[in-house]
Amino acid sequence: MTDLSDHPDHPDRPDPPGLADLEAELRRAVRGEVGFRVTDRALVTMDASNYRRVPLGVVAPRDADDVAAVLEVCRERAVPVVPRGGGTSIAGQATGTGVVLDFTRHMNQVLAVDPEERTALVQPGVVLDRLQEAAAPHRLLFGPDPSTHGRCTLGGMIGNNACGAHSVAWGTTADGVRELSVVTARGQRLRLGPGWAGAPAGLRELAERETARLRTGFPDLPRRISGYALDALLPERGADVARSFCGSEGTLAVLTEAVVGLVRAPGARALAVLGYADESAAAEAAAGLLPCRPLTVEGMARDLVPTASGLPRGGAWLFVETGGESPEEARAAAEAVVRAAGAVDAAVVTDPAGRRALWRLREDAAGTATRMPDGSEAWPGWEDCAVPPARLGAYLRAFRELLAAHGLRGTPYGHFGDGCVHVRIDFDLLTPDGVARFRRFSQDLAELVVAHGGSLSGEHGDGRARAELLPVMYGAETVALFERAKAVWDPDDLLNPGTLVRPAPLDSGLRFDVLPRRPVDVAFAYPADGGDFTAAVRRCVGVAKCRTARPSGADVMCPSFRATGEDEHSTRGRARLLHEMLAGDLVTGGWQSTEVRDALDLCLSCKGCRSDCPVGVDMATYKAEFLHHHYAGRRRPAAHYTMGRLPQWLRWIARTRTAPLLNALAALRAPAALAGRLGGFAPGRDLPRLAARPFSRWWRDRRPAADGPGDLVVLWPDTFTEHLSPSVGRAAVRVLEAAGLRVALPPTLRLPRPAAGRSALLDPVAVLRGRGRVCCGLTYVSTGQLDRARAVLRRTLYLMEPVLDTDAPVVVLEPSCAAALRTDLPELLPGDPRARRLADRVLTFAETLERHAPSWRPPRLDRPVAGQTHCHQHAVLGDAAERRLRAAAGLTGELSGGCCGLAGDFGFTRGHEEVSKACAEEQLLPSVRDAPPEAVVLADGFSCRTQLEQLAGVRGRHLAEVLADALDGAPDDRGPEPAVDGRGPVQDSGVKGSHP
């Protein structure tokens, strides 16, 4: 290997000589994309492991010819090549210092499904879920199903011999492989299969010389993934070269196509959830359930379950799935499991939604396990050891003792029916002493696993994490045999060198080595990360749920990735760039980095990752933090001065009463176009119409409701309700008062403390006095104007002190403003106790009615609904109260998930038009188009309503508006609302398809 293969582990090493020539030669040789930009390289420095290697470049080949061309160029220059799928490997084998092959861009198709033969022909970059979708019409599926099934690729699964929850029934990936098409490092194209099909020269001779070792030196385990599967070359095992290739971690040849076997899907499924005292008791019971022929036997402990509500009693659980031709047959099989289980408590779940919710707990464990119950960090490294299932209980007890002896903690979970245990351990990988302990523990655990007859890897491969310890499991002579096998396939050691054979030390090249050791000066408090921005960025471990092409249920994360398909626009991709920015050796600009800025530009700040990411990455906050530093003392984009300071501008317009004039100008093409260019607005976007009478002015002019016995609630006049959608505020007042509540608005001027028994909050004349106005600071936060945001929030807290002296809740109608008050406010002003008090007072409209008017019943509408749950509602506030209120009103059906794509200023900002529309087209617009004519179109967020009007000509309504119109009596005194898009009438906001 030349110096190129070592670049750039040393932070001060410049790009090596010949890098530009290598890039140019690759561009001439291949039809696919060649990426040598800093961003291209930064995105693949890590997988989901503890390791980091910086590559020279990335190539996305279009076909096998491109693969062969890359190998030829790199062989001539002695540059390593690393095949990469979804990048979710946990042992470090999807990283490298040479050229990374990204198969997810082009070679990502299911080429054919043969239902008669029950096979499929696939390319290496196809995501498992796409294969399952192609096979489903034939009632077939691919048996192995890792928890990352929404983003892992078949090539990666073959490389790691991945397994998943259903391996007790359908085996590992190797069990499902029929034929493999590969290109060797020297350009030979082979088609691998049984009977020595496709074997490279010398492999058969090597295996036949070592027959005795192949028969005796490999443990007989359902989950033996460590090392090369050379025993598959034995004659009694069919001399299956394709099976032997599985689990080789990209070190032998490059996969270009695969024929995989499919299995018959059960007609129905049921889930037996079995409660045990602890995970050892669950593990001991697991092997005894295998005679019941279950589809899964998965174990989880209480530490990994956010809430045990709905689960049987116990400190640990087995999730045992059963199948049958009918629901009755599947249930009967599950009940038989319960009878055989010896559990302290049990439940059988047949409802598909209930089963999905439980499986989501299990699938998210790879992320949730990265935080201990006290919030401290935990890491992979010993993620998937496997022992014989009958010895799992004893192994887990010994494992717990070993953890305690080293002063470590971890929560085991995983495939108990196969004896495979996943665990994240609270290693200190930031200090020399902690890394030394990591090494000592790794050596001791390897010996413990082998003492129990186990395999160092039971699913994810050896990679950099365990390959150094393979002699403990196999002995030096068998490891030497692995090296000889590698030399037969890849004599130049071109493919993924340092992985599986001749590995680097397991404690070298850790991703944490390059990060700053001192906390970075930041504006947000990052309370869950001890105030450390670096720790916040470390949250992303790379499980890549954000790269799922189609969200599950109401999930939001990550809309910009789904719109673009580009990794740099995923939550993981952005976190990788922030990691490299902090490291400083690849992304060298620090807070001034253009690479990070450009990746964050298409982040919608939807906050979906805050709830949907298993480790709680909050990219909206990280984006605001970055923009705050990036533009400090510098000229900002025009949109930051216009839409970022929207409350300021709208208050000025309200004071000068110029809304009608501005609306008239906005309706004229030339003035609107000029304003758009100057303001940084996207061309083709119509500016929202401004209300001639703001909500607070209506409040001041109305006849106040008589004081009653109901609770006092303070209605927050957010910027959107105040100036753009006052009908929402008027409707909310009407409903809240109909429910018997006393409604007040926050003071706009700090008033003297009232005399005993009186409250200045109840005086509507006080509204609009002075210049002080409450504001959540949302637009300032989303554009990174954090100094202004803090000033606005301090003023707000001062004005809200009289409210905080009462027990009154603060009702916020706009979900994004409510989310800002609940999260951004206390995290920007952590030292002000008033911030937490106000955040804790914030309620949504539905929460207010549920908590403060529990006996009130809404009017019945008995109509279906369409529309979308606001992304901030989903991510921060939750929508349980809204669901219950809709059900009480007879509003049936589900709202879609995802993000509307407008997202505050995002969809209005120049350069975001296509992504904004693509996000809306993913779920929101189809949900409205497909709804029945009588459906009520609900959209509690102003952005969602605007997107609906401008892209679909449909006026969505806030839930408060729908309920207000359904109340008995005359409608309120509102005038006609102008169409937001300014181009004429739109469909009525209440019933889809009706006329205004």
In eight-state DSSP terms, residue 146 is: -
Contact 621, 632 (CB under 8 A): no
pLDDT of residue 304: 77
Side chain identity, residue 212: A
pLDDT of residue 550: 78
pLDDT band at 770 (very low <50, low <70, confident <90, very high): very low
Side chain identity, residue 369: A
H or E element in which residue 112 lies:
strand 110-114
Model pTM score: 0.91
pLDDT of residue 383: 78
Report helix, strand or coil for 328: helix
Inform me whether the pLDDT recorded for 368 exceeds 60.
yes
Q: Calculate what percentage of the chain has a pLDDT beyond 90.
A: 83
Read off the pLDDT of each residue in 666-694 and give the average, rounded to a whole number.
Answer: 92
Q: Round the CA-based radius of gyration of the chain to a whole number and report it.
A: 30
Q: What is the largest CA-CA distance in the chain?
A: 98
pLDDT band at 980 (very low <50, low <70, confident <90, very high): very low
Report how far apart, in Å, the C-alpha atoms of 46 and of each of 422, 719, 773 are.
20, 42, 47
Inform me whether the pLDDT recorded for 829 exceeds 70.
yes
Side chain identity, residue 938: L
Query: CA 245: distance to chain centroid?
Result: 32
Q: Which of 678, 690, 594, 597 is nearest to 641 (CA)?
A: 678
Q: In the predicted model, what is the mean pLDDT of the chain?
A: 91
DSSP 664-731: HHHTSHHHHHHHHHHHTBPTTPPPPPPPSS-HHHHHHHSPPPPP-SSPEEEEE--HHHHHT-HHHHHH
Q: Which of 381, 307, 371 is nearest to 529 (CA)?
A: 371
DSSP 49-94: SSBB---SEEEE-SSHHHHHHHHHHHHHHT--EEEESSS--SSSTT
Q: Which of 796, 938, 810, 803 is nearest to 879 (CA)?
A: 938
Read off the pLDDT of each residue in 441-457 and give the average, rounded to a whole number.
Answer: 97
pLDDT band at 767 (very low <50, low <70, confident <90, very high): very low
Inform me whether the pLDDT recorded for 6 exceeds 60.
no
Give 84's strand partners: 102
Q: Which of 256, 103, 67, 86 is nearest to 179 (CA)?
A: 256
- Detail the DSSP E strand segments found in 765-862: 810-812, 842-843
Q: Which of 244, 152, 156, 137 is nearest to 198 (CA)?
A: 244
pLDDT of residue 749: 65
Read off the pLDDT of each residue in 887-912 and give the average, rounded to a whole number.
Answer: 94
Read off the pLDDT of each residue in 798-815 and give the average, rounded to a whole number.
Answer: 96
pLDDT of residue 702: 87
In eight-state DSSP terms, residue 590 is: G
pLDDT of residue 309: 62
| 212 Cβ contact partners less than 8 Å away, ≥ 6 residues apart | none
The Cα 612–Cα 545 span in angstroms is: 8
Read off the pLDDT of each residue in 87-114 and give the average, rounded to a whole number.
Answer: 96
- Both tokens of 641, joined, read 């001065």
Read off the pLDDT of each residue in 795-821 and give the average, rounded to a whole number.
Answer: 97
The Cα 224–Cα 226 span in angstroms is: 6
The Cα 533–Cα 544 span in angstroms is: 20
Inform me whether the pLDDT recorded for 7 exceeds 60.
no
In eight-state DSSP terms, residue 52 is: B
Query: CA 326: distance to chain centroid?
Result: 34
Contact 464, 505 (CB under 8 A): no
In eight-state DSSP terms, residue 90 is: S
Q: Which of 369, 362, 381 is nearest to 149 (CA)?
A: 362
The Cα 2–Cα 217 span in angstroms is: 36
Contact 451, 396 (CB under 8 A): no
pLDDT of residue 371: 75
Helices within 184-232 (DSSP H only): 203-209, 211-216
Contact 730, 977 (CB under 8 A): no
pLDDT of residue 707: 66
Q: Which of 211, 188, 206 is nearest to 198 (CA)?
A: 188
pLDDT band at 310 (very low <50, low <70, confident <90, very high): confident
Contact 113, 135 (CB under 8 A): yes
- Detail the DSSP E strand segments found in 784-925: 810-812, 842-843, 863-867, 891-892
Inform me whether the pLDDT recorded for 429 exceeds 50.
yes
In terms of C-beta distances under 8 Å and separation of at least 24 residues, what long-range contacts does 789-798 make, across chains too?
Answer: 789/824, 789/828, 790/523, 790/828, 790/829, 792/647, 793/825, 793/828, 793/829, 793/835, 794/829, 794/832, 796/838, 797/829, 797/832, 797/834, 797/835, 797/838, 798/750, 798/772
Contact 596, 626 (CB under 8 A): yes
Q: Which of 196, 1, 197, 188 is nearest to 81 (CA)?
A: 1
pLDDT of residue 554: 77
Tell me the pLDDT tens digit for each residue of 25-71. Answer: 999 999 999 999 999 999 999 999 999 999 999 999 999 999 999 99
pLDDT band at 75 (very low <50, low <70, confident <90, very high): very high
pLDDT band at 996 (very low <50, low <70, confident <90, very high): very low
pLDDT of residue 981: 34
Read off the pLDDT of each residue in 846-860 and give the average, rounded to a whole number.
Answer: 97
Give 102's strand partners: 84
Helices within 264-364 (DSSP H only): 279-286, 327-341, 352-363
The Cα 995–Cα 982 span in angstroms is: 17
Among 7-11, 256-260, 922-926, where is mean pLDDT lowest? 7-11
| 427 Cβ contact partners less than 8 Å away, ≥ 6 residues apart | 378, 379, 381, 408, 434, 437, 438, 441
In eight-state DSSP terms, residue 25 is: H
699: region left, alpha or beta (phi > 0 left; psi from -120 to 50 alpha): alpha
In eight-state DSSP terms, residue 971 is: -
- Look at 105 and 987; give whichever has higher pLDDT: 105
Read off the pLDDT of each residue in 436-449 and give the average, rounded to a whole number.
Answer: 97
Backbone φ and ψ for 554, nearest 5 degrees, come out as -90, 5
H or E element in which residue 576 lies:
helix 571-583
The Cα 392–Cα 587 span in angstroms is: 45
Read off the pLDDT of each residue in 370-380 and give the average, rounded to a whole number.
Answer: 82
The number of residues in the chain equals 996
For the beta carbon of residue 20, count every other beta carbon within 10 angstroms.
Answer: 10
Inform me whether the pLDDT recorded for 705 exceeds 90.
no
The Cα 54–Cα 95 span in angstroms is: 8
pLDDT of residue 970: 41
Inform me whether the pLDDT recorded for 592 exceeds 80.
yes
Read off the pLDDT of each residue in 218-233 and give the average, rounded to a whole number.
Answer: 94
- List the strands of the sheet with 99-102, edge to edge: 33-35, 57-60, 99-102, 81-84
H or E element in which residue 273 lies:
strand 268-276
- Both tokens of 788, joined, read 């202004």
Inform me whether the pLDDT recorded for 313 exceeds 60.
yes
Residue 596, CB-side half-sphere exposure with 13 Å CA sphere: 28
Among 166-180, 352-366, 750-764, 811-825, where is mean pLDDT lowest? 750-764
Q: Calculate what percentage of the chain has a pLDDT beyond 70.
A: 91
Report how far apart, in Å, the C-alpha atoms of 732 and of each of 588, 650, 700 are.
51, 22, 16
pLDDT of residue 411: 84
pLDDT of residue 971: 44
Inform me whether the pLDDT recorded for 3 exceeds 70.
no
Contact 131, 122 (CB under 8 A): yes
Handedness of CA 7, 13, 14, 17 (dihedral sign): negative
Read off the pLDDT of each residue in 711-717 and give the average, rounded to a whole number.
Answer: 96
